[in-house]
């Protein structure tokens, strides 16, 4: 079945209500490598119940609509999809525990043409159930490699955020623990690609790879560290493109450029001379 533009734009997502505990908040942070230095107070606040804080990118693991893309009625060739981009706008800090309500929708579908795939923009808005406060808005851009040329409106995707041409203003290295993917998957993404060597081999990888959203959170952690920003609530927006997989046990180097409130960044694995995250843009509120 070919992708049906109107049907997909009006896909009937159920509202998602999800409760999470301090344990979930700590587990998410451990999956990003917090606690690597157990005496560092700036890391301990995300992994210890005393004065616990939720790291700002945690909304990306809340309110997921489930495996809706595997439904044949979508027309999506699920075996040919990739997570291309992730963007998060933070309107209010996520409490360390609570219950959220998530509303998902397909916001846009870009037909790149026959043989070139399609870009499916899936938006998720998260609200605190008790207060009704709008906490965050996120958009995942899914690259459906086998769904181009479906006859949708001719549109163009936005140009990727351009990195400055000067040398980075700062850089920081983050070691990824060998068990990072096994920890991160406990936050809800149980895809065996991140745990089972046999599945990874079938997918063409020499070993299980790290979740893209884990490297996304690690990058946010690194950007704040590189700019010496202790108040993580100042992070208001964070977006990037996924360009290559990260393997547990590698070291990620995040290069950062700051221009006022706007921060540009990318991430490399120097050992493989690979750019793994690219065209990154963050917005940091003034102190």
Residues identified as active-site: 189, 194
| Whole-number Å distance between alpha carbons of 72 and 77 | 8
**DSSP states along the chain:** ----HHHHHT--PPPEEEEE-HHHHHHHHHHTTTTSSTT-HHHHTTTSSTT----TTGGGGSS---SGGGSGGG---GGGEEEEEEEEEESSPPPSSEEEEEEEEEEEEEE--TTT-EEEEEEEEEEETTT--EEEEEEEEEEETT---S------PPPPPPPPSSPPSEEEEEEPPTTHHHHHGGGS---GGGT-HHHHHHTT-SSPPPPHHHHHHHHHHHHHHHTT---GGGEEEEEEEE-S---TT-EEEEEEEEETTEEEEEEEEGGGTEEEEEEEEEEE---
| Whole-number Å distance between alpha carbons of 285 and 235 | 6
């Amino acid at each position: 079945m070919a992708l049906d533009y109107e049907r997909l734009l009006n896909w009937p997502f159920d509202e998602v209500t999800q409760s999470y505990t301090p344990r979930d908040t700590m587990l998410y942070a451990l999956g990003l490598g917090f606690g690597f230095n157990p005496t560092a107070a700036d890391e301990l606040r995300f992994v210890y119940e005393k004065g616990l804080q939720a790291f700002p990118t945690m909304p990306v693991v809340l309110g997921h609509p489930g495996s809706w893309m595997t439904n044949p009625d979508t027309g999506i060739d699920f075996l040919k999809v990739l997570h291309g981009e992730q963007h998060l706008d933070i309107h209010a800090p996520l409490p360390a525990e609570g219950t959220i309500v998530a509303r998902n929708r397909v916001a846009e579908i870009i037909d790149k043409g026959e043989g070139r795939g399609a870009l499916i923009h899936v938006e998720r808005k998260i609200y605190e159930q008790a207060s009704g406060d709008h906490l965050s808005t996120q958009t995942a851009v899914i690259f459906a490699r086998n769904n181009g040329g479906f006859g949708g409106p001719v549109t163009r995707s936005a140009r990727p955020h351009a990195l400055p041409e000067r040398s980075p203003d700062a850089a920081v290295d983050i070691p990824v623990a060998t068990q990072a993917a096994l920890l991160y998957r406990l936050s809800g993404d149980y895809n065996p690609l991140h745990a089972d060597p046999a599945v990874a081999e079938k997918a063409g990888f020499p070993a299980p790879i790290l979740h893209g959203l884990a490297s996304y959170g690690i990058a946010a952690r690194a950007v704040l560290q590189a700019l010496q920003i202790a108040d993580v609530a100042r992070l208001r927006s964070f977006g990037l493109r996924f360009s290559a997989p990260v393997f547990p046990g590698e070291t990620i180097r995040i290069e950062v450029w700051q221009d006022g409130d706007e921060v540009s960044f990318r991430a490399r694995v120097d050992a493989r001379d690979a750019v793994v995250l690219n065209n990154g843009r963050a917005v940091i509120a003034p102190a």
